[in-house]
Amino acid sequence: MKICRTRAELRQAVRGWKLAGETVGLVPTMGYLHEGHLGLVRLAREKADRAVTTIFVNPTQFGPNEDLDTYPRDEARDLALLEAENVDAVFMPDVTEMYGAGGDTFVEVPGLSSILQGALRPGHFRGVATVVTKLFNIATPDFAVFGEKDYQQLTLIRQMVRDLDMPLEIVAHPTVREADGLAMSSRNVRLSPEHRQQAVALSRSLSAAEALATSGPEIDALEKAVRAELAEARDGDVQSVDIRDAETLAALSGPLKRPAVVLLAVRFGAVLLIDQRVITPRSVPGA
């Protein structure tokens, strides 16, 4: 497994593989890997001849009062996990290598950047779009794999790739969950034992929405059911509950008539958790 600290090192490795006719799959991460990340890595290995994982805690997607300084990191553990998955290369730049000095160019998808999580975290998705574009330019992958848990991020990256004619395929991986249903996240380790127990309310609320969805209920009734389950987490500060069109993230109202995604953001102390689930009324073909 090649450990690349510079852009030049990764580009040299990828160039050799591509000259040999091999395809490259990319998995961007911020490290502190868990089984959810490893699911993305395995999918990249399935789809491509060579798998590249990036580990970079990107400062431009953190706001001034967010958890950049306390975001969990464990480089040795991450490398051991990736080597066990037969990853071909890991790109681990520092901030100077990634952004240089005096960089002043950003990538933004205005519509999707300003709603939902973007409204709660101004500038977050500009940072995501910019760093992902840079990673695509450096690694030149044929595929890039992202998790559905960050559903707005996934939707935004798909639109960015489409709008800018980037020559790669975006592949989605279903949300990976703990045995009790909590979506896996690097931030989960920062939950207190009590908050960890309460956090299961997120997945329970999504299951309630999924069960109710089959009857084609009113969107307001769905949101009410979700909020009722979330209320069981007495220390959870519900930041947002949104039910949006599953493809475009457009706002919905009235009865549920097509696939929608339920998007949650709940804060436990200093830890912000997000989760999502696509729900479909029974009237939709194939539902």
Angle at 159 between CA 153 and CA 161, to 5 degrees: 100
Could you tell me which residues are beta bridge partners of residue 264? 241, 275
Portions of the chain given CATH number 3.40.50.620: 2-173
Q: What number of other Cβ atoms are within 10 A of residue 238's Cβ?
A: 17
Rounded mean pLDDT, 116-141: 96
Query: Rounded mean pLDDT of 261-277?
Result: 96
Is 151 labeled as ligand-binding? no
Per the residue annotation, which of 37, 124, 173, 195 is the catalytic one? 37
Q: What is the token pair recorded at 170? A: 């975006």
Element (H, E) at 107: none
DSSP assignment letter at 174: P
Residue 124, annotated as binding a ligand: no
Q: What is the pLDDT of residue 108?
A: 96
pLDDT on residue 284: 58
CA gap 27, 142 in Å, rounded:
11
Asked if 47 and 176 count as a contact pair (C-beta separation under 8 A), the reply is no
The alpha carbon dihedral of 216, 218, 224, 230 has a sign of positive
Model confidence band, residue 31 (pLDDT cutoffs 50, 70, 90): very high
34 is in an annotated binding site: yes
Verdict on whether the full-model pTM lies above 0.85: yes
Is 90 exceeded by the pLDDT of residue 200? yes
Query: With contact defined as beta carbons under 8 Å apart, do 266 and 239 qualify?
Result: yes
Average pLDDT over residues 174-200: 96
Which pLDDT does position 287 carry in this prediction?
Answer: 55
pLDDT of 254 over the 80 cut = yes
Per-residue pLDDT band at 285 (split at 50, 70, 90): low
* Residue 286 scores a pLDDT above 60: no
Active site residue 124: no
Residue recorded with tokens 């956090």:
199
Sheet holding 237-245, edge to edge: 237-245, 260-268, 271-279
Residue partners of 235: CB distance under 8 A and separation at least 6: 194, 195, 198, 268, 269
* 237 beta partners: 267
pLDDT at 103: 81
Q: Where in the chain is the domain with CATH 3.30.1300.10?
A: 186-278
Q: What is the pLDDT of residues 88-105, one digit of tens each?
A: 999 999 999 999 987 889
Domain 186-278: assigned CATH number: 3.30.1300.10
**pLDDT classification of 65: cutoffs 50, 70, 90:** confident
Condensed to tens digits (0 to 9), the pLDDT of residues 207-250 reads 999 999 999 999 999 999 999 999 999 999 999 999 999 999 99
Instruction: Please say if the pLDDT value at position 81 is more than 70.
Output: yes
Percent of the chain clearing pLDDT 90 (strictly above): 93
Q: What is the mean pLDDT of the chain?
A: 95
Cα–Cα distance measured from residue 252 to residue 164, given in angstroms and rounded to the nearest whole number: 28
Q: What is the pLDDT of residues 50-62, one digit of tens each?
A: 999 999 999 999 9
Is 195 marked as binding a ligand? no
pLDDT exceeding 70 applies to what percent of the chain?
98
What CATH number should be reported for the domain whose range is 2-173? Answer: 3.40.50.620
The conformational region for residue 249 under phi > 0 = left, psi -120 to 50 = alpha, else beta, is: left
Q: What is the pLDDT of residue 263?
A: 97
CA 207 to chain centre: 20
